[in-house]
Amino acid sequence: MIRRFVSGRPIVTGAVVRRLPAESMDGFPFAHRLDGGRFVFSFPLEKDEIVYGLGEAPRGINKRGWIYRSFCSDDYLHTEEKEAFYAAHNFLLHDGCGIFIDFPAEIRWDIGYARADEAVITLDGEDFEIYLIFGETPRAVVREFRSLIGKSYVPPFWAFGFQQSRWSYPDAEAVRDIVRGYDEAGLPLDAVYLDIDYMDHYKNFTVDREAFPDLAGLAAEMKAEGIHLVPIIDAGVKKEEGYAVYEEGRDKGYFCRNADGTDFEGGVWPGTVGFPDFLRPEVRAWFGEKYRILTDMGIDGFWNDMNEPALFYSAKGLADALETASEMRGKNLDLPQFFALKGAFEGLDNRREDYASIWHEIDGRPVNHMRVHNLYGASMTRAAGEFFEEAFGKEKILLISRASCIGAHRYGGIWFGDNHSWWQHILLCLKMLPSANMCGFLYCGADLGGFGGNTTPDLLLRFLALGVFTPLMRNHSAMGTRDQECFRFENTADFRDVTRVRYRLIPYLYETFRRAAEEGDMMFRPLSFDWPDDPLARECETQLLLGDECMIAPVYEQNVSGRTVYLPEEMCFVKLSGDRITAKEILPPGLHYIRVALNEVPLFLKKGKSIPLCRPALRTSRLDIAGKEDLTW
């Protein structure tokens, strides 16, 4: 059962696909009030109650004890004190009731932070829709919610293969070197990503003809080898005379504006840019069609980035900072003056006052960006997704995005943004998987090995052993960090053993994914979903159920030979390595220390269940699906 409550004049976000009758807020069952133009509601939290949800967000599967913000944020340091990441997934599951807030502005979620026995939710506005979703179990609530928001995006089959990225592979020969390195090492690979340096001066839908003189030819060459190229597209369009995409967007009035009607100008990779007003259908159609420039070259995968939108500076903010610097030139700066000068430049990026100066057009009327901030990146995804489906049909193009909100799950997948080469980020990825699934995002994953910082062979191997199971399995790293392609390390055989496990599992993972998409289910679940009365299962946040057949439990600490796992029931412990099963043991319920070598992937099979395994290959297109064997207990 679902109840819908409406306040004021909500902006239509496109998040839901079922129209339900509206109830008055007078009947809203939680304590609520208006406070200075903000809507606040609260509900009690029982002592041992688990609160799930919020999708891509900091901290644990159980959201209690912290403050979270729904405000898509360009923040590359994912540490525990953060309150927001790149996404805004406004679904919470508490005490048998799901709460979905269809509201594209900021929401503050105090889940037992100020008071341990109370959750206080604050919406930055009075125009919204709130849905209350009920079911007999948490899984039933999620399924009911997913029926409300529509089926999840399904990528092409090859997108379940291993993918390699870096900021950046500078030219066509570097791409060939990556593929050659993987092939010579016997490591499977299905895609190579192109970061911002493939473009002509970071201009969307252009190609640097010196570095990539024949991108269409390269794409065809790679496709013949079973490799797909996946270029990046950013939200900002470079302001440059003679650049057709910019001139067309400017002349048609397609960019976001200032209050005086002039185009808002911000700075990102290309310098000054205009931001397409993706909230307008005609702008989405226009921008989506631009992807044809690259699909005509044989490209069939994209990653949308910088679409929170990220702002290095605004034209006004930069001018103010430069004026401050000019005023202080030649002065003997004391402590306050020095920090004022430093702050003038350090505070330029992603400023609230800059966001508040942006205006959109919705149904012919101006709307301030702060009212729709969380809808921006999702609308960019929608622009691309709608074009791809119309031009090529479903499941033909890979599309992932950095920023997102619920609704975008129907058009593309997500990656969890700029993580680091930190051991704790293995668990951060694991904990976001079921939360993202609740919100409809099934095709997701983290940058394996970590994007920022320098990875180590053991960290990358342990990260990959989790990535073996995530739908998006991508190794990605930042400029200035250690090269972390799997073939770069001396113990290449270990990497071959782990990545080949992925290819053995692809038939199972793909079918599990498709079933979850079709049935509105989760691919990954917390143990507490299946054993709600088991205290240890309820508190376990380092293991997940995968489908209805098995449980995963990655090793996530440095310099250890294994880990402790908790089994709520008897299970079969299996270790996979390359095309081998290195161990298979029946374990009783309880706590167990399992030993897992760096080249092994641990898996726990439930009693009476079976998983198909196929022979590994270097490409998904070469898998012998028919020649699979069953891993059965």
pLDDT in tens, 455-475: 999 999 999 999 999 999 999
Query: What are the distances in angstroms from CA 375 to CA 15, 82, 88, 498?
Result: 10, 21, 9, 38
Query: 126 near 37, Cβ under 8 Å?
Result: yes
Q: What percent of the chain lies above the pLDDT cut of 90? A: 95
Q: Which two tokens stand for residue 567?
A: 């089994």
Q: For residue range 474-490, what is the model confidence (pLDDT) as tens digits?
A: 999 999 999 999 999 99
Q: For residue range 578-620, what is the model confidence (pLDDT) as tens digits?
A: 999 999 999 999 999 999 999 999 999 999 999 999 999 999 9
Please calculate the CA angle 453-238-86 and round it to the nearest 5 degrees: 40
Cut 0.75: pTM above it: yes
Q: How many domains does the chain have?
A: 2
Number of helical (H) and strand (E) elements in the chain, helices listed first: 15, 38
Q: For residue range 234-279, what is the model confidence (pLDDT) as tens digits?
A: 999 999 999 999 999 999 999 999 999 999 999 999 999 999 999 9
The reply to whether 267 falls in a domain is no
The reply to whether 178 falls in a domain is no
The reply to whether 449 falls in a domain is no
Query: 175 near 168, Cβ under 8 Å?
Result: no
The reply to whether 450 falls in a domain is no
* Position 627 pLDDT exceeds 80: no
Count Cα atoms within 13 angstroms, Cβ side, for 445: 25
Distance CA 139, CA 135 (A): 8
* Position 629 pLDDT exceeds 90: no
CATH number of the domain at 619, please.
2.60.40.4040
Element (H, E) at 305: strand 301-305
Task: Name beta bridge partners: 368.
Answer: 359
CATH number of the domain at 53, please.
2.60.40.1760
519 is in which domain, residue-wise? 509-632
Q: Which of 334-343, 440-449, 514-523 has the lowest mean pLDDT?
A: 334-343
Distance CA 585, CA 607 (A): 12
What is the predicted pLDDT for the residue at 626? Answer: 77
Residue 334: which residues within 8 A CB-CB, separation 6 or more?
Answer: none
The reply to whether 179 falls in a domain is no
Q: Which of 91, 116, 149 is the last residue of a domain?
A: 149
The reply to whether 232 falls in a domain is no
Q: Which two tokens stand for residue 511?
A: 């079918």
Query: 400 near 391, Cβ under 8 Å?
Result: no
Ranges of H-type helices in 297-375 = 315-328, 335-346, 352-355
The reply to whether 76 falls in a domain is yes
Q: Which of 106, 125, 149 is the last residue of a domain?
A: 149
Cα dihedral 428, 434, 436, 437 in deg (nearest 10): 160
Average pLDDT, the chain: 97
Q: Torsions phi, psi of 31, nearest 5?
A: -60, 130
Indicate the residue type of 151: K
Average the pLDDT over 67-80 and give the result. Answer: 97
Query: 86 near 71, Cβ under 8 Å?
Result: no
* Position 94 pLDDT exceeds 80: yes
Distance CA 96, CA 109 (A): 18
What is the predicted pLDDT for the residue at 633? Answer: 83
Per 3-state DSSP, the chain is made up of helix, strand and coil in percentages (nearest 5) of 30, 25, 45
Q: What percent of the chain lies above the pLDDT cut of 70? A: 100
Query: What are the distances in angstroms from CA 296 to CA 157, 266, 284?
Result: 21, 30, 19
The reply to whether 323 falls in a domain is no
Distance CA 445, CA 429 (A): 7
* Position 628 pLDDT exceeds 80: no
Q: What long-range pairs does 361-370 form, CB within 8 A, spacing at least 24?
A: 361/257, 361/277, 361/279, 361/280, 362/11, 362/279, 362/280, 367/11, 367/279, 369/256, 370/105, 370/106, 370/124
Of 128, 154, 138, nearest in space to 15 by CA: 128
Number of Cβ atoms within 10 Å of the Cβ of 298: 17
What is the predicted pLDDT for the residue at 464? Answer: 98
Q: Which of 149, 170, 205 is the last residue of a domain?
A: 149
Of 159, 223, 161, 170, nearest in space to 194 by CA: 170
Distance CA 479, CA 418 (A): 12
Whether residue 577 has a cis bond before it, omega within 30° of 0: no
Distance CA 574, CA 630 (A): 13
What is the predicted pLDDT for the residue at 205? Answer: 98
On the 0-12 / 13-18 / 19+ scale of CB atoms within 10 A, 413 is buried
Query: 363 near 265, Cβ under 8 Å?
Result: no
Of 259, 474, 465, 245, nearest in space to 370 by CA: 259
Count Cα atoms within 13 angstroms, Cβ side, for 442: 30
Rg (CA), the chain: 24
